[in-house]
Amino acid sequence: MPRMSAEELEQFLYSHFPDSAHRAFRVERVDEMFAQVRMHFDKRHLRPGGTISGPSLMTLSDTAMYMALLGMIGPVGLAVTTNLNINFLRKPAQVDVIAECKLLKLGKRLAVGEVTMYSEGDADPVAHATLTYSIPPGPL
């Protein structure tokens, strides 16, 4: 069972990352080893040709992983990304992107997750990422 609700996670996110980019994110669902995060469509995330930019999708995947992890271990600020591998699969449409993160491993020192990202209303993924977080030693 997750230790934090979607609302608590979104509050944590906004209080720790007060920049505008993260304002586009909504934590829609958390579950056992799982989180779903929506990135609202925003013209500022476009790159030439009208595509949602790669860095926006990378930030989204990182945020979805962070939410899935904190959902399980609680509001630990010091977990950090150590590796991110992302494949860009299709040109995203100019709509919201939904990221689904599944934790593959939650160890004492490392957590690994995979994130599949979809344009709203399309079953074919636009990007897929795997991420590793290092979890600080502590009172867990």
Burial class of residue 133 in the structure, from the number of CB atoms within 10 Å of its CB (0-12 exposed, 13-18 middle, 19+ buried): buried
| Contact between 81 and 24 (Cβ < 8 Å) | no
Closest distance of CB 49 from a copy of itself, Å: 7
Nearer to a copy of itself, 77 or 139 (CB): 77
Nearer to a copy of itself, 5 or 134 (CB): 134
Closest distance of CB 95 from a copy of itself, Å: 19
Question: Is residue 132 involved in binding a copy of itself (CB under 8 A)?
Answer: yes
Question: Is residue 80 involved in binding a copy of itself (CB under 8 A)?
Answer: yes
Cβ neighbours of 38 (radius 10 Å): 18
Spatial distance between the Cα atoms of 112 and 117, rounded to a whole number of angstroms: 17
Question: Is residue 104 involved in binding a copy of itself (CB under 8 A)?
Answer: yes
Q: Which stretch binds a copy of itself (CB under 8 A): 2-10, 34-42, 44-52, 67-75?
A: 44-52
Tokens standing for 20?
Answer: 């505008």
| Contact between 30 and 67 (Cβ < 8 Å) | yes
Pick from 8, 76, 90, 95 the residue near a copy of itself by CB under 8 A: 90
Which three-class secondary structure state does DSSP give residue 128? strand
Q: Which stretch binds a copy of itself (CB under 8 A): 3-11, 24-32, 67-75, 78-86?
A: 78-86
